[in-house]
Every structure is written in structure tokens, then in C-alpha cells.
Amino acid sequence: MASVEVLFTERIGQLTGSTRSSDPTWIRSVDAMQWPLLNDTGRWGVMGVDLGANTEHSDGRLYIFFGDVAVEQDRNFPGFSGNPNNSDLVAWTDDTKVLRHGGHLALGWNFFLPSKEQGATESSGQPDWHLCSKCGGLFWAPNDQPSGICPKGDNHQPIGWNFVLPSSGHLRVNRMMSVLRMDSNTTRKDGSSTCQMNR
């Protein structure tokens, strides 16, 4: 019988789970190491799961079959699903790379970004910001052309509305945008995006 040698293990992050508590330690969706959860499954009533088996399907997705799901018991909580305790959960992903520490953790204010479709003009700021059809990120797409570097490969592909990023001349907006710098996410004009935790 062949022997097996374990070389090393590396913790990437917590795949499932949820936190909701008045305790300041758990007010955000973080795991026991204070890293952002890879998925806050509480929104679907899944507070935690037992071990899971996984398999790669011919459609390119990795399917994970979890057992013994701990479900939300509070009927008044928005995440209540009505599913029985110890039910089963099936999840899938088509990501080929894992964001370390869960990627980004949203903090602070809820910002609203105007678009040309909603009446914003070039005098409001810099136009030609679009969502990417591949990764869902916001990037600068001059003349609606693919640009930047998409984490899903090649360039970002613009779809949807043409957002206008408020810029100089709008003092109140500039103060608001300075708060955005406190977030770990940095979006550049070339469309690239990095999380400081991942450096």
C-alpha cells in the first residue's frame, strides 16, 4: 500500500456561516479570526453546515454537497427560510481562484452612483464607468470599450448603464469620496482593483 505524505495545509477562509449579534466583536460578517466570511449564508437561513463533499461537473462548476445544516430558528428574522434543521445544502462556484481572507468587507456609508440613464451629465463628473459582465466589478470603460484587467481573465467587458463618477468641483461629494478611501478596496481609472489585505 502506498504511503501518503502531508506537505502542508493553508487556511484560506470560512466558506459558510453567519454572524448576527449585539456583541461588537460579531457585528460584522467575520469568522473567528476576524476575516470576512467568504459567503454570509445567513441570508438564506443557513447559519452553519457540517462537512461537505465536492465534485467538478462538466459545466465547469464545482458543486459542494453539505450535510446537517444549522438553520435560522427565529421566524421574525429576514433570513428565516422555514427549512428543517439538519437539512441538506447544495452550493456551486465557477471561480477558479479564491480571494484570500474573503476578499472585501463592506464598511461605512451606502453610496449611490448616478448614471446618464438617470439624468447625470458629464458636468457631474467622469462618465463611462460600467459594470463588468464577467466579474461584476465597476471599471472605467472609455467609449464603452473593454479595458483594464479583469480577475476572470483578459479585459473587463462593459455592460449596462453608464455611471458618472462625481469629481472635483463638488465639495460635498469630494468629502464623501474621501471616506471611500478608508475601504480596503481601491478602484483605479484603468479598471484594476486590489484589496489591501491581499497584498
Closest CA to 144 of 165, 160, 125: 160
- Tell me if the pTM is above 0.85: no
To which residue does cell 461537473 refer?
Answer: 57
pLDDT at 58: 93
What confidence score (pLDDT) does residue 149 get? 87
The string of pLDDT tens digits covering residues 83-102 is 888 888 898 888 777 666 65
Residue pLDDT, tens place only, 114-150: 888 888 888 888 899 998 888 778 999 988 899 988 8
Q: What is the pLDDT of residues 150-165, one digit of tens each?
A: 887 889 999 888 999 8
Q: Say whether pLDDT at 111 is over 60.
A: yes
Q: Which residue has the higher pLDDT, 199 or 42?
A: 42
170's grid cell = 463638488
Could you state, in order of their start, the residue ranges of all structural domains in the chain? 24-102, 116-198
Confidence grade of residue 191 (pLDDT, cut at 50, 70, 90) = very low
The whole-number average pLDDT for the span 167-188 is 41
